[in-house]
């Protein structure tokens, strides 16, 4: 086996990439040699590429920046055959390296997948597919539909002065906005369109894919608008018509149609000029069923925007509607079209007013009733349905005057109406009051008359019927003694067993309230238990109908025992009852004595008093405890039995004398207090009042303050300065007054005002103007202030000294750049406070305007690098210089800030006029700009490129590979600063040379040496060029002999001779074959080798040895280069047709494992 490394012919991959692009675009797809072609001898190329013409259309084929181009090949192509592109190229120099072979340009016709494939059989190097084996990676061009996106405006029609926001969808990445005419509108980066003039303007949107769309916006000259108007039917309303700003339109007249449904809905009362119209404005209008045509004019131009007109309309009564209202045919000066917004005119139903009042069980003449209203608009008017019966005030207070039926009503400012239900007011009340009686008593039961005086009634006759339960009581007759009918003629008539009718009359009327008559009743003998019997009045008639009356019937309680007492005093829950008091109650019918209980518990489990046999209706009680709740009740007793207990009432006895208060504030011996003092002390249990004494003497002989009050605090002002005061407090209630508290003392302040706090300028503030306003905060107790300003800390040199009651002083004409000191103190009638002091510095004086020096005004032929200089006063710290091609510096081309009086600008354009100016600055501010000077730069004269770092020479060894010689932009330079392009115009064929990324790169050619030169040309934008030459010396390097062709194995039979000729097996780059020294060794030594130098062969023999051996060739050239190669030699047995005479001594059979036909067989 050959033991040297022999490289097989490598395969070269050709590929085309996958590309994605938009339909309609032209794309470039390149054929790449992905494997290196160096040393493969690629001297020609033919290729065929197929494509799908449904998706793709070939546009061009080029060889720019390809391996063809690098090797100087001429490339040709043919795109005329359908769906086939043929490419060919050849040259004197073999291709080397990896990279692009050719560029094919396709236009994408449709969306989809356009495959671009190699025709493998027709694509090869050196006119044979086998010469350089190739593999292929086909390409794909995917066409995608051109993206689109939409954008729109909200709104899409706008008026001058409006802005409208664009909205966009379907775009790729951010959108760049622009307009077709910036005189009409501008647009922000966020798509907000701002109008400038009326007309039509296109808005252009372009996304990051370069997709653009244009939409047009109609900008009208003005916009009319009005606010929604809602009111109640029947009302008059004014609709304000407003306009956008008309200042730029020179408008003096206009017209529009206000489209709204007029018929049966509203009527026009008039149209008045708005606030932006002139005094001589004339307005005409015509009302149609579907709106109002309005025109207006005036002699002067209408300026500004705002209220144009006011349309006065009346909404029809009892009509409700919601009119969608728009402006149509809006035009100014008969030629400027406008637009309008929509609004609504609404008429809504008048509200029903809701009347409120507090209801009563009965309504009597003389009563007043307060009425309220809700849901009204504006003020209301009250009324009654019958003014003879009642009147009502403007605030809803109704006063009844006469009995009868009526309603209360109300109307608001828009005629909304409300009314109550019907009220019945009564002149008088005829009452059968609740009463009680014993079984054995005769009851004189009153028929009571009330409200006579309030109703101013006069009664001359009465007629009424009383109905009673005759099984419970018996009617005995009537009595007028002591009644209102005393002296009247009265007749009673028992009209039924349970009814009695009384008729009475008199010449003198009843004009007061009281008991009309007494009816006598006796309990029926059948009654033996407690019951209620009920009586009722009917058929009541006074004076044959007037006054009218309210009837209130009652009941009589019939008791078999004394009636339950009714308590009188102390009343329920009464407080501060003396410790000796009297319990009082009403006498109970049938009672002969009473039982009284008094307890401190509501359950009467224990009693303080429990006594019987009390003959009267009161009981004196002594020895009560203070601040205690007592409960008491009474029971009536006679021989028949006893009543129920009365209601249980309680009262609370008076409190004890309160304790002495604890003093809180001011603290004892406090000093330097204000002359206004707040005193406070603790609340004391049982105290209802407190008394405070204040005096300048601690014995309080004649206190200056002796005040009783209900709170635990007291304020006193106008105290004297620097005075000691003493104070103490008492607590008291109805029972008495406590002992005085301890005496405390405090001393008031001296009365001097507080030191003012300086509020501005701040301490050590700098950069103030030469006019300064000094501010301080108000000081307590100050009447006025003294202000001083000086230029030294000791105020030896006072600049201003003034007094003022204000909190500010302004001083002007201060010096620039100067430190000042100021102070303020407060003054009152007592004296002055200490000074408060501050200091500050004024601003530096603004520097003067610089004077420009160079370049001189209107100078010409200036270099494109210019140093500007100027002079300035000593106040300037920094300078700003501006350079522009426009005299108004719009725009500024360049601006620099410097502390020097000169500045340099370079790279100016040739033959151009420039303007420049300078301003000076310091901490005080900026000067005005200097005068503007101009100059003109010189005309451009192109200079040849120059060689700054010559290429010179380089020495390399043969087969050196690749070498970067130099970056060419460091070799060449252009005096005018123009960019240079580089190309190789000449080089010898013993090396390769190329320019890659503006770098000169040389490469070796196999086994070539000698001296070569590379000529490089540098060219500027004006086609001026220069050359430089690189000399390359390639030093020869000895190459060892190499194998041309050598078998892996040689075979011959034992006893025979094998002759192997090696005249074509080896070669050497530098030496001929005859100059090489070849030696052979064989192992094992049983095999012999004999070299014949004439025939250049080796004869191998083996007399007896059979088996494998190894032949080693050693080849040496004249320079000592050595090649060693090995061949395996196989010496085989000689075959014969004769059998030997011997008989085999034994036989063996070995396992052929595994047996493919029976893997499990075993021998």
Going by their DSSP bridges, the two strands 291-302 and 282-288 should be labelled as antiparallel
Q: Do 971 and 1028 touch, CB atoms closer than 8 A?
A: yes
* Residue range 649-662: mean pLDDT, rounded: 92
- Checking if the pLDDT of 7 tops 50, the result is no
Task: Please give the pLDDT value at position 1006.
Answer: 86
Fold of 567-653: Immunoglobulin-like (2.60.40)
**346 CB neighbour count, 10 Å cutoff:** 15
Q: Do 789 and 811 touch, CB atoms closer than 8 A?
A: yes
- Checking if the pLDDT of 830 tops 90, the result is no
Task: Please give the pLDDT value at position 1142.
Answer: 45
User: Is CATH 3.30.930.10 the classification given to domain 150-220?
Assistant: no
pLDDT digits (tens, 9 = 90+) for 883-904: 999 999 999 999 999 999 999 9
Contacts of 1152 (CB under 8 A, 6+ apart): none
372-377: which pairs have CB atoms within 8 A and are 24 or more residues apart? 372/396, 373/410, 373/412, 373/418, 375/351, 375/416, 375/418, 376/351, 376/410, 376/412, 376/413, 376/416, 377/232, 377/351, 377/412, 377/413, 377/414, 377/416
**H or E element in which residue 454 lies:** helix 452-455
- Checking if the pLDDT of 846 tops 50, the result is yes
The domain segmentation of the chain, as residue ranges, is 12-144, 150-220, 223-348, 354-425, 428-486+498-559, 567-653, 663-748, 757-842, 851-937, 946-1035, 1042-1132
Q: Residue 316's closest CA among 371, 370, 357, 261? A: 261
Fold of 354-425: Immunoglobulin-like (2.60.40)
- Please tell me the least confidently modeled range out of 205-214, 346-355, 1123-1132: 205-214
* Residue range 563-572: mean pLDDT, rounded: 93
In CATH, what is the architecture of 757-842? Sandwich (2.60)
pLDDT digits (tens, 9 = 90+) for 431-471: 999 988 888 888 999 999 999 999 999 999 999 999 999 99
* Residue range 957-985: mean pLDDT, rounded: 90
Q: How far apart are CA 913 and CA 924, in angstroms?
A: 34
- Taking the domain 851-937, which CATH number applies? 2.60.40.10
Task: Please give the pLDDT value at position 590.
Answer: 81
* Cis upstream peptide for 953 (omega within 30°): no
DSSP codes, 814-883:
PPTT-EEEEEEEEE-SS-B---EEEEEEEPPPPPPPPEEEESPTTEEEE-SSEEEEEE--TT--EEEEEE
In CATH, what is the architecture of 223-348? Sandwich (2.60)
**pLDDT confidence bin for 1137, thresholds 50/70/90:** very low
- SS3 string, 67-119, reads HHHHHCCEEEEECCCCCEEEEEEECCCCCCCCEEEEEEEEEECCCEEEEEEEC
- Please tell me the least confidently modeled range out of 96-110, 113-127, 154-168, 633-647: 154-168
- The tally of CA atoms less than 13 A away on the side-chain side of residue 595 is 14
Torsion of CA 169, 175, 180, 184, to 10 degrees: 80
Enter the tokens of residue 1140. 């030997």
DSSP codes, 7-30:
PPPPPEEEE--EEEEETT-EEEEE
Contacts of 580 (CB under 8 A, 6+ apart): 620, 621, 622, 623, 624
Fold of 663-748: Immunoglobulin-like (2.60.40)
Q: Do 529 and 454 touch, CB atoms closer than 8 A?
A: no
- Checking if the pLDDT of 547 tops 90, the result is yes
Which of the four CATH numbers 2.60.40.10, 3.30.1950.10, 1.10.2020.10, 3.40.50.720 does domain 946-1035 have? 2.60.40.10
Q: Residue 186's closest CA among 207, 204, 169, 212? A: 204
Q: What percentage of the chain reaches a pLDDT higher than 90?
A: 65
Q: What percentage of the chain reaches a pLDDT higher than 70?
A: 96
Q: Do 563 and 591 touch, CB atoms closer than 8 A?
A: yes
Q: What is the mean pLDDT of the chain?
A: 90
Q: How far apart are CA 1010 and CA 1018, in angstroms?
A: 27
Task: Please give the pLDDT value at position 752.
Answer: 87
Q: Do 411 and 381 touch, CB atoms closer than 8 A?
A: yes
Phi/psi at 932 (nearest 5 deg)?
Answer: -95, 125
Q: Residue 107's closest CA among 52, 55, 62? A: 55
Reduced to 3 states (helix: H, G, I; strand: E, B; else coil), residue 597 is strand
Enter the tokens of residue 590. 């049938």
* Residue range 598-625: mean pLDDT, rounded: 94
Task: Please give the pLDDT value at position 151.
Answer: 67
**pLDDT confidence bin for 1108, thresholds 50/70/90:** confident
**1037 CB neighbour count, 10 Å cutoff:** 15
In CATH, what is the architecture of 428-486+498-559? Sandwich (2.60)
pLDDT digits (tens, 9 = 90+) for 688-729: 999 999 999 999 999 999 999 999 999 999 899 889 999 999
Q: How far apart are CA 1158 and CA 1163, in angstroms?
A: 12
Reduced to 3 states (helix: H, G, I; strand: E, B; else coil), residue 1115 is strand
pLDDT digits (tens, 9 = 90+) for 315-353: 998 889 999 999 999 999 999 999 999 999 999 988 889
**H or E element in which residue 362 lies:** none
Which of the four CATH numbers 2.60.40.10, 3.20.20.70, 3.40.50.720, 3.30.43.10 does domain 1042-1132 have? 2.60.40.10
Q: Residue 394's closest CA among 404, 377, 379, 406? A: 379
**pLDDT confidence bin for 560, thresholds 50/70/90:** confident
Output the CA angle 682-685-687, nearest 5 degrees.
Answer: 85
Q: Residue 235's closest CA among 413, 381, 418? A: 413
**H or E element in which residue 983 lies:** strand 981-987
**pLDDT confidence bin for 1140, thresholds 50/70/90:** very low
**pLDDT confidence bin for 501, thresholds 50/70/90:** very high
Contacts of 265 (CB under 8 A, 6+ apart): 315, 316, 319, 321, 323, 347
The dihedral through the CA atoms of 519, 525, 526, 532 has a sign that is positive
Q: Do 208 and 173 touch, CB atoms closer than 8 A?
A: yes
Q: How far apart are CA 384 and CA 483, in angstroms?
A: 38
Q: Mark 638-651 as b/e (b = at least 16 C-beta within 10 Å).
A: beeebbeebebbbb
Distances (CA, A) of 369 to 334, 366, 405, 409, 492: 66, 10, 15, 13, 40
Task: Please give the pLDDT value at position 155.
Answer: 65
Enter the tokens of residue 138. 């086909």
DSSP codes, 149-215:
-EEEEESSEEETT-EEEEEEES-SS--EEEES-TTTEEE-TT-EEEE-SSEEEEEEEE-TTS-EEEE
Task: Please give the pLDDT value at position 272.
Answer: 95
User: Is CATH 2.60.40.680 the classification given to domain 12-144?
Assistant: yes
Strand partners, 437: 558
Task: Please give the pLDDT value at position 149.
Answer: 64
**pLDDT confidence bin for 1153, thresholds 50/70/90:** very low
- Better-predicted residue by pLDDT, 911 or 213: 911
Q: How far apart are CA 424 and CA 8, in angstroms?
A: 132
- SS3 string, 221-283, reads CCEEECCCEEEECCCEEEEEEEECCCHHHCEEEEEEEEECCCCCCEEEEEEEECCCCCCCCEE
């Amino acid at each position: 086996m050959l033991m040297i490394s022999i490289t097989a012919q490598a395969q070269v991959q050709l590929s085309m990439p996958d590309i994605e692009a938009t339909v309609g675009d032209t794309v470039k797809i390149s054929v790449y040699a992905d494997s290196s072609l160096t040393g493969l001898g690629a001297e020609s190329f033919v290729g065929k590429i197929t494509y799908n013409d449904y998706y793709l259309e070939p546009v061009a084929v080029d060889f720019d920046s390809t391996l063809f181009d690098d090797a100087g090949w001429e490339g040709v192509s043919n795109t005329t055959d359908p769906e086939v592109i043929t490419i060919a190229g050849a040259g004197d120099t073999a291709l080397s390296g990896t990279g692009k072979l050719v560029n094919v340009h396709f236009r994408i016709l449709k969306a989809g997948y356009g495959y671009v494939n190699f025709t493998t059989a027709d694509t090869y190097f050196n006119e044979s597919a086998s010469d350089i084996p190739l593999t292929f990676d086909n390409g794909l061009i995917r066409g995608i539909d051109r993206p689109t996106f939409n954008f729109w405006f909200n709104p899409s029609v706008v008026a001058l002065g409006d802005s409208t926001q664009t909205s966009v969808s379907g775009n790729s990445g951010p959108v760049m906005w622009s307009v077709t005419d910036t005189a009409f509108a501008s647009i922000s980066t966020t798509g907000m369109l701002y109008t400038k003039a009326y007309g039509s303007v296109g808005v252009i949107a372009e996304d990051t894919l370069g997709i653009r769309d244009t939409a047009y916006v109609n900008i009208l000259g003005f916009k009319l608008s009005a606010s929604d108007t809602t009111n109640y039917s029947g009302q008059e309303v004014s609709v304000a018509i407003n306009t956008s700003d008309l200042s730029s339109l020179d408008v003096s007249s206009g017209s529009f149609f206000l489209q709204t449904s007029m018929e049966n809905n509203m009527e026009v009362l008039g149209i008045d000029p708005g606030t932006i119209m002139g005094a001589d404005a004339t307005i005409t209008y015509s009302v149609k069923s579907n709106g109002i045509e309005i025109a207006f004019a005036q002699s002067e131009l209408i300026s500004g925007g705002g209220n144009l007109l006011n349309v006065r309309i009346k909404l029809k009564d009892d009509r409700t509607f919601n009119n969608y209202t728009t402006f149509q045919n809006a035009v100014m000066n008969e030629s400027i079209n406008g637009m309008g917004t929509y609004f609504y005119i609404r008429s809504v139903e008048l509200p029903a007013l809701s009347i409120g009042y507090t209801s009563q069980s009965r309504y009597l003449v003389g009563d007043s009733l307060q009425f309220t209203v809700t849901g009204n608009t504006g003020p209301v008017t009250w009324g009654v349905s019958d003014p003879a019966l009642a009147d009502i005030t403007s605030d809803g207070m109704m006063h009844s005057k006469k009995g009868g039926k009526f309603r209360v009503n109300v109307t608001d400012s828009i005629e909304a109406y409300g009314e109550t239900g019907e009220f019945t007011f009564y002149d008088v009340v005829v009452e059968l009051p609740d009463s009680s009686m014993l079984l054995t008593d005769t009851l004189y039961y009153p028929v009571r008359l009330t409200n006579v005086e309030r109703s101013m009634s006069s009664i001359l006759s009465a007629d009424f019927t009383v109905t009673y339960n005759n099984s419970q009581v018996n009617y005995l007759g009537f009595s007028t003694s002591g009644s209102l009918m005393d002296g009247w003629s009265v007749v009673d008539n028992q009209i039924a067993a349970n009814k009695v009718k009384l008729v009475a009359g008199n010449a003198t009327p009843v004009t007061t309230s009281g008991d009309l008559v007494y009816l006598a009743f006796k309990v029926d003998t059948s009654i033996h238990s407690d019951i209620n019997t009920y009586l009722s009045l009917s058929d009541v008639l006074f004076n044959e109908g007037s006054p009218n009356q309210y009837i209130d019937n009652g009941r009589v309680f019939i008791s078999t025992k004394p009636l339950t007492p009714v308590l009188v005093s102390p009343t329920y829950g009464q407080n501060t009852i003396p410790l000796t008091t009297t319990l009082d109650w009403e006498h109970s019918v049938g009672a002969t004595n009473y039982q009284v209980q008094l307890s401190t518990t509501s359950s009467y489990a224990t009693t303080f008093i429990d006594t019987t046999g009390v003959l009267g209706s009161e009981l004196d009680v002594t020895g009560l405890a203070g601040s205690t709740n007592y409960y008491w009740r009474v029971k009536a007793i006679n021989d028949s039995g006893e009543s129920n207990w009365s209601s249980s009432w309680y009262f609370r006895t008076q409190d004890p004398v309160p304790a002495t208060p604890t003093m809180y504030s001011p603290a004892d011996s406090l000093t330097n207090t204000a002359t206004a003092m707040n005193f406070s002390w603790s609340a004391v249990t049982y105290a209802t009042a407190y008394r405070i004494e204040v005096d300048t003497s601690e014995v309080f002989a004649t206190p200056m303050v002796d005040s009783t009050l209900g709170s635990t605090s007291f304020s006193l002002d106008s105290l004297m300065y620097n005075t000691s005061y003493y104070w103490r407090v008492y607590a008291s209630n109805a029972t008495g007054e406590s002992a005085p508290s301890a005496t405390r003392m405090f001393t008031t302040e001296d009365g001097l005002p507080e030191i003012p706090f300086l509020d501005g300028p701040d301490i050590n503030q700098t950069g103030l103007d030469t006019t300064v306003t000094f501010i301080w905060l108000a000081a307590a107790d100050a009447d006025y202030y003294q202000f001083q300003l000086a230029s030294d800390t000791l105020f030896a040199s006072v600049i201003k000294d003034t007094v003022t009651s204000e909190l500010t002083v302004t001083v002007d004409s201060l010096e620039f750049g100067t430190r000042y000191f100021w102070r303020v103190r407060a003054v009152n009638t007592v004296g002055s406070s200490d000074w408060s002091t501050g200091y500050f510095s004024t601003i530096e004086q603004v520097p003067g305007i610089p004077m420009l020096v160079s370049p001189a005004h209107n100078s010409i032929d200036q270099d494109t690098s210019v140093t500007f200089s100027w002079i300035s006063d000593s106040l300037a710290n920094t300078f700003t210089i501006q350079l522009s091609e426009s005299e108004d510096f719009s725009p500024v081309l360049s601006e620099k800030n410097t502390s020097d009086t000169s500045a340099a600008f370079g790279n100016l354009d040739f033959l151009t006029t420039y303007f420049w100016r300078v301003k000076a600055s310091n901490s005080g501010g900026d000067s005005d700009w200097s005068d503007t000077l101009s100059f003109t730069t010189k005309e451009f004269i192109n200079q040849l490129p120059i060689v700054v770092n010559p290429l010179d020479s380089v020495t390399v060894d043969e087969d050196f590979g690749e070498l970067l010689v130099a970056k060419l932009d460091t070799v060449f330079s252009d005096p005018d600063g123009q960019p240079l392009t580089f190309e190789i115009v000449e080089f010898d064929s013993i090396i390769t040379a190329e320019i890659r990324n503006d770098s000169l790169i040389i490469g070796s050619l196999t086994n070539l040496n000698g001296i070569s030169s590379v000529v490089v040309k540098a060219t500027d934008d004006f086609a001026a060029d220069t050359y430089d030459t690189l000399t390359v010396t390639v030093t020869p390097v000895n190459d060892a002999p190499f194998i041309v062709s050598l078998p892996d194995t040689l075979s011959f039979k034992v006893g025979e001779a094998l002759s192997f000729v090696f005249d074509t097996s080896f070669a050497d780059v530098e030496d001929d074959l005859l100059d090489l020294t070849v030696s052979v060794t064989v192992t094992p030594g049983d095999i012999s080798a004999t070299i014949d130098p004439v025939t250049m062969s080796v004869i191998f023999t083996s007399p007896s040895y059979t088996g494998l051996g190894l032949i080693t060739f050693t080849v040496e050239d004249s320079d000592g280069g050595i090649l060693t190669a090995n061949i395996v030699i196989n010496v085989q047995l000689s075959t014969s047709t004769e059998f030997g005479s011997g008989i085999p001594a034994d036989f063996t059979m070995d396992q052929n494992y595994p047996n493919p036909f029976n893997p499990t067989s075993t021998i």
